Amino acid sequence: MKQPEKQCEHMYLPDLCGVRTVLTLVVVAELFVFVLALGTPAGSDVDRWTRLGLISLFVQWITLFSSSLLCLARRHLCRLRAPGVTLVAFAIILGTTALFSELTWWLYYRVVFHHPHAWHYDFLARNLLVATIVSGLVLRYFYVQQQWRRNLRAESESRMQALQARIRPHFLFNSMNTIASLVRAAPDTAERTVEDLADLFRAALGDERKLIPVSEELALCRRYLDIEALRLGERLQVDWSLSPLPDSARIPPLCLQPLIENAIYHGIEPRTEGGRLVIRAEADDRQVVLTVRNPLAGDGGDKGARRQGNQLALANIRERLAVHFGEAAQLRMGEEDGCFVVTLVLPAAPPAEEALA
């Protein structure tokens, strides 16, 4: 039973084959019956308790019958989207209601009371109308509940992903290993590396909604590259080409660093001979352009195997840029002369409302 459930995640109807759901439905239906019974003044043709019993019987029949039909149809319903599911559910419930109304009318009014045509169509129409309203309410409730659950899950997932996009476990543990190697042989370097790592993590764990000067982000990238240089030794070469940047230029923290990390992960680490990263920053009155260039992985590299975490990191950067700058910021990537080039374009001055925030 696990398999169909898994494919059925988008479906908003709960599993109506489950005992708990059925019990809940029965209780809700019974409460509704009480409302109906209480709504009629005393002194009608039958006494109140009999009436309650008869309506219960009628309503529970419809509830249980239509929920078991929906339970049976669940596997097929999974293939439909929400509007389709709603239509089918309505059809099943109204069909069931019509069927039992006819049966009831025939049994109760014809066989028991011998009223040949009394209120036949009125009875049917009233039942269908009530069924439409009540099942509409119930379906709406299921839908809202499922949306709420889905939002909750999406939110916690995206929080986790945002954190992972900024702190890569891979980098953390590799750095720890580097420090462990350095402690005895080169205590000074070890000390500096701990400081660099602390700065990076302060930025990663800090408020990601705040903007920092681009120059500060570049300093963080330098710290990061210092750590990676220890690990990769001669295999990593970095060319910096930085033009003077306007002081007003701002960036969400750790937007450039993950791009450099990707460049190392995909462009330097898989290559036995290593390679050269080129990091460039240029600015004019309107915008700041940051580019990171790395050699393509080449033979034996993981050309096809782009990590999923990598995509998440890029999506996270895009999202943060969009939140702050809208269309004014861009993240582009592509191949150029045997290199992989990522370009980050930022406005030279952040929009005015950011100053207020």
Partner 1 sequence: MRILIVDDEPLARSRLAALLRDLPGCEVAGEAGNGIQALEQVQALEPDVVLLDIRMPGMDGIEAARHLSTLETPPAVIFTTAYDDYALAAFETCALDYLLKPIRQERLARALENCHRLTRAQLATLQQAGARDGATVQPEARSHISARVKGGLRLVPVEDICFFHADQKYVTVGYLDGEVLIDESLKSLEKEFGDRFVRIHRNALVARARIMGLEKDREGRCRIILRDCARRLEISRRHLPDIRRQLR
Residues that bind partner 1 (CB under 8 A): 169-170, 172-174, 176-182, 184-185, 230-233, 269-272, 299-302, 304-308
Identity of the residue, 243 or 311, whose beta carbon is nearer to partner 1 in the bound complex: 311
Smallest separation, CB 296 to partner 1 (Å): 14
Q: Which two tokens mark 53?
A: 């019993």
Identity of the residue, 251 or 264, whose beta carbon is nearer to partner 1 in the bound complex: 264
Smallest separation, CB 182 to partner 1 (Å): 7
Given a contact cutoff of 8 angstroms between Cβ atoms, the answer to whether 355 and 333 are in contact is no
Given a contact cutoff of 8 angstroms between Cβ atoms, the answer to whether 195 and 220 are in contact is no
Identity of the residue, 270 or 350, whose beta carbon is nearer to partner 1 in the bound complex: 270
Smallest separation, CB 265 to partner 1 (Å): 10
Identity of the residue, 169 or 244, whose beta carbon is nearer to partner 1 in the bound complex: 169
Identity of the residue, 24 or 177, whose beta carbon is nearer to partner 1 in the bound complex: 177
Provide long-range contacts, Cβ within 8 A and 24+ apart, for 273-278. 273/235, 274/232, 274/234, 274/235, 274/236, 274/237, 275/235, 275/236, 275/237, 276/237, 276/238, 276/239, 277/225, 277/236, 277/237, 277/238, 277/239, 278/238, 278/239, 278/241
Smallest separation, CB 232 to partner 1 (Å): 7
Q: Residue 183 contacts by C-beta under 8 Å, 6 or more apart in sequence?
A: 190
Count other Cβ atoms within 10 Å, centred on residue 94. Answer: 18
CA-to-CA dists, residue 89 to 25, 80, 239, 244, 324, angstroms? 15, 11, 64, 65, 44
Smallest separation, CB 307 to partner 1 (Å): 5
Identity of the residue, 123 or 201, whose beta carbon is nearer to partner 1 in the bound complex: 201
Q: Which two tokens mark 22?
A: 């059925």
Smallest separation, CB 70 to partner 1 (Å): 38
Smallest separation, CB 9 to partner 1 (Å): 22
Identity of the residue, 179 or 221, whose beta carbon is nearer to partner 1 in the bound complex: 179
Quick one: which of 226, 216, 169 has its CA closest to 192? Answer: 226
| 3-state percent breakdown (helix, strand, coil) of the chain, nearest 5 | 65, 15, 25
